[in-house]
Amino acid sequence: EANIGDVLVFSFVGMATQEKTVGISNIINVILSSDNLLEEVVVVGFGTQSKQLLTDNVAKIDSDQIGGISTPSVQGALIAKAPGVQITQINGKLEGGVKVIIRGLSSVSASQEPLYVIDGIEMNNRNTSSITAKLNPLLSLNPNDIESIDILKDASATAIYGAKGTNGVILITTKRGKQGKSSISLDFSTGIGEPTHKRDWLNTSQYVELLQESAFNSGFFADRAESDAWVDGRLQRYEGDQNYLDVNTDWQDEAFQTSIIKDANVSVSGGNEKTRSFISGSYNDTKGIVRGNSLKRYSMRANLDHEVNTYFSLGLNASYSSTVIDRIAGDNAFVTPLQAIAQIPTSPAYLADGEPNGNSLYPNFLLQDKYSYRKTTIRRILSKVFGDLKILPVLTFRSELGYDYLYQTVDRNTGRLAPFQSTNGQSFASDDGTEIISTNNYFTFDKRFFDTSNLNIILGMNYTRLKNRANSVTGDGFPTDDFRSISSAATISAGTGTFTN
């Protein structure tokens, strides 16, 4: 029995939930209205569909759920917002390390990455990075340009996109102009980030005590004095120009830093009953939490729609972005800050003169940070023209022509004083350009019968052509670290060139 003041919740499938507070009356009248969420339109590959008529498992995220978040990546804005989708950050690097799993783990070794489709164009997910860590395929996309994201989770993904949709499909729709007065939006946001779950490592006193106990208990020494002397001699190897007992280095503090994110966006949208437009520009400047890692992105977008007459309409989507990334070494390399935890607290990070200590237990990543660089530049053009023809009230034809051009350059230099360098410096340069032209042409038959049934049939075809050209060259031996271009190298030690059509 309900008491006065209790709240009763009334719900039914397809209806909006109602709450009523119990009063003194024995009768409560409740009218449930239709749930507006079932009328929500979602993107399902070729075209859109109402949730009420949809049998597929589709998750939808709107722009108000991801807009205004200070993050350089789209996936970062989706964390904890897509039910049934696992999104995890593999490491703290800006340019990659985001794992998206939609349909669960199906293989130990095979890729689990979903297919990304932006405004009907399948994204080029090729890993053209010469550094082992893969780049995030959505780095070039400004999260503030997104209108909605629809995630296809079940077999419908493979029915439309074939084997490419095996791991699920993420459909991204960008913003478009709406009829009405023109509006101008300008926003600037900034944020900071700190590394989480930092380890509480041994300090120098604890480390020395534990090492002494370990050496004494090993059984290799006659007495405690002999084992302590061995420990003392071993630790003196890595103390540089200081007494190791006076050193207490927290290598995590050297490897990580406070991240600063600056993001600026401007957009103009509007139109009349015939023509609508959305134009935007953005700038993102992010300093990562890992030392030596940063990202800058410039992007522009123009989306246009024009209704020629009652039967024919056409449109254009066009975007350009330029992303420059200062990268660090691969995850498993000792010269990366991510491996700094292997260093011992008795070894100083810097010598007394301020130079990085070159005599640490493992190669000091601070030498790599000071005397080398890894820079990747990504330029991307993503565009589409399309037309819609209304043949009959129940029959339409749509034709799309998409163009995706991804051009990536890598400039990498290892200075004469960097760890593992024995060739008086080495430089590497590569460029990789991939051009994808695709076309979609399909008919859609949509007929509703007796207000109770709906028949939707899509018949179409897709054609894709890919071209790729890649070159790389390595040069060794430089007079000084001030000369870093390949033309200054004493020896060209390696070079490759490929063309794919």
d(CA 221, CA 225): 9
Q: Which residue has the tokens 């940070």?
A: 369
Q: Given a cut of 60, is residue 14 above it in pLDDT?
A: no
pLDDT band at 120 (very low <50, low <70, confident <90, very high): confident
pLDDT band at 30 (very low <50, low <70, confident <90, very high): confident
Measured CA to CA in angstroms, residue 163 lies from 155, 157, 158 at distances of 11, 9, 6
Q: Given a cut of 60, is residue 109 above it in pLDDT?
A: no
pLDDT tens per residue, range 282-338: 999 999 898 889 999 999 999 999 999 999 999 999 999 999 999 887 655 667 787
Measured CA to CA in angstroms, residue 317 lies from 439, 467, 483, 490 at distances of 14, 22, 43, 48
Mean model confidence pLDDT for the chain = 84
Tokens of 340: 């700094």
Q: Are the C-beta atoms of residues 75 and 91 closer than 8 Å to each other? A: no
Three-state DSSP state, 211? helix
Q: What residue ranges in 33-101 does DSSP mark as E strands? A: 41-43, 48-50, 58-62, 86-89, 98-101
pLDDT at residue 328 in the model: 83
pLDDT at residue 52 in the model: 47
Q: What pTM did the predictor assign?
A: 0.80
pLDDT at residue 385 in the model: 96
d(CA 43, CA 123): 16
Q: Are the C-beta atoms of residues 38 and 13 closer than 8 Å to each other? A: no
Of 384, 339, 426, 327, the closest CA to residue 96 belongs to 327
pLDDT at residue 38 in the model: 45
Question: Which is more confident, 165 or 146?
Answer: 146
